[in-house]
Amino acid sequence: MPGSVNTHDVIISGGGVVGASLACTLADAGLRIALIDTREPVTDWPADSIDQRVYAVTCASQTLFERLGVWEGIRQRGVSPYQAMEVWDAAGPGRIHFDAAELGEPWLGHIVEQRVIQAALLDGQRARPGLERICPGVLADFQLDPAGVSVRLEDGRELTAALLVGADGAGSRVRELAGIGIETHDYEQTAVVAVVATDRPHAGTAWQRFLPTGPLAFLPLRDGRCSIVWSTTPEEAERLLALPEDEFCIELGQAFDYELGAITRVNARGGFPLRRLHAVDYVQQRLALVGDAAHVIHPLAGQGVNLGLLDVAALAEVVADTAAAGRDIGAHANLRRYERWRRGENALMQSAMDGFKWLFASPLTPVRLLRNLGLGTVDRLTPVKSLLARHAMGRAGDLPRLVRPDS
């Protein structure tokens, strides 16, 4: 704050997509920011390669990136817009189809590689003089003092600020040091991810087939291939990861019911154990958590990073309003508004994902009949379908100013 004795106004630990976006947003509000991360993002890669980690970026997240001036850098590096989404059940005829044109939108979202967003955000950070990047740097410890919060890095450097934000991912050191508890649930599933080539074109559609063992998603990539997220039991995932390439392609084709024909190629595969996690508190005196440090959800609806970006927009709005009113941005009473705003919304999304997972995993005949009936009915009920689609696009709910399309 003006006249403050602290080295910075806000220290952010964690420069993933969420932390880096928050750093740019708060720097735009005129605050002095320190962004710490253990590593620099990758900025160079072979033109024909695709990162294993891709995100389905919602329209709300795109709006945030546009307001930060980084969307053009993301777009130029390569994005894949998808105009349709197709969801169906392996155990019955139920099917639902979402179409951007039906909603009067050009697309439902974009599939973007994580490294593409990080590289564009790095340009955004470098263009903001009020933002100091400390990479590599590792937050080791912090303590509260009368003027603010003091942060010590592993190499001995010390920084002080009015507010410390933990954007340091699911295993958040900030959350742990603050003694904030978590509610957690092991899904007993592992997501197998890979980039695959298919016989037929993906047609700009995000595909999801619900199998009894978990959902299998095919996300359309800019080079015509698809990124798959195949959630299944840990034992099955271990087996799939160890299969020779040709056998993996055959099993994947069968599991996807040859919706895009045969699978002709697969690159390196990776496995991610899945769990739900929710921090009991999002804020304390001089401290806030955002993104995966606060909540981790099942990837079946591709919402994880998008929820984190809604946290960013909400926290930035609260901090900017508090600073503009000349009040303390680190005071617990002021930060509570952010917690009240986001914790309920994130809990709702977590419950919805758990509900879907249960519904589609259930072998009980009545549940199976109901979900098939449900998918078919929703597909015909335009208002319900449109509401579902607007939620998936991040266009519904109590949206912060920064992501509202009209503000």
Ligand X SMILES: Cc1cc2nc3c(=O)[nH]c(=O)nc-3n(C[C@H](O)[C@H](O)[C@H](O)COP(=O)(O)OP(=O)(O)OC[C@H]3O[C@@H](n4cnc5c(N)ncnc54)[C@H](O)[C@@H]3O)c2cc1C
Q: Smaller CB distance to ligand X: residue 206 or 323?
A: 206
CA distance 40 to 47: 20
Compare residues 124 and 308 and give the one whose CB is closer to ligand X: 308
Burial class (CB in 10 A: 0-12, 13-18, 19+), 398: exposed
Half-sphere exposure of 158 (CA within 13 A, CB side): 8
Write down the least CB distance from residue 307 to ligand X, Å: 7
Of 167 and 288, nearer to ligand X (C-beta) is 167
The distance of closest approach from Cβ of residue 299 to ligand X in the complex, given in angstroms and rounded to an integer, is: 4
Q: Are strands 158-161 and 148-153 parallel, antiparallel or unpaired?
A: antiparallel
Nearer to ligand X, 29 or 191 (CB): 191
Q: CB of 227 within 8 A of CB of 50? A: yes
Least distance from C-beta 139 to ligand X, angstroms? 4
Per-residue CA distances from 188 to 141, 236, 238, 384 (Å): 33, 11, 13, 31
Choice between 55 and 282, CB closer to ligand X: 55
The DSSP call for residue 261 is: B
Q: Which residues bind ligand X (CB under 6 A)?
A: 13-19, 36-39, 55-56, 138-139, 167-169, 173, 191, 193, 229, 272, 291-292, 299, 302-306, 308
The Cα 15–Cα 34 span in angstroms is 10
Nearest approach, Cβ of 293 to ligand X (angstroms)?
Answer: 6
Give 298 or 368: the residue with its C-beta nearer to ligand X. 298
CA nearest to 274, candidates 357, 360, 162: 357
CA–CA dist 212, 371 (Å, integer): 13
172 vs 322, which CB is nearer to ligand X?
172
For residues 175 and 185, give the distance between their C-alpha atoms in angstroms, rounded to a whole number: 18
CB of 285 to ligand X, least distance (A): 20
Question: Is the distance from CB of 274 to CB of 189 less than 8 angstroms?
Answer: yes
- Three-state secondary structure of 179-214: CCCEEEEEEEEEEEEEEEEECCCCCCEEEEEEECCE
CB of 376 to ligand X, least distance (A): 26
Identity of the amino acid at 134:
I
Q: C-beta of 148: minimal distance to ligand X in Å?
A: 19
Min separation Cβ 160 and ligand X, Å:
17
Which CB, 94 or 339, lies closer to ligand X?
Answer: 339
The answer, yes or no, to whether the previous bond of 136 is cis (omega within 30 of 0) is yes
* Rounded least distance, CB 218 to ligand X, Å: 12
Cβ 155 to ligand X, closest distance in Å?
Answer: 11
Instruction: State the Cα–Cα distance between residues 233 and 239, nearest whole angstrom.
Output: 10
CB nearer to ligand X: give 16 or 81.
16
Burial string for 372-392 (b: 16+ CB within 10 Å, else e) reads beebeebbeeeeebeebbebb
In the complex with ligand X, the residue whose CB is nearer, 94 or 208, is: 208
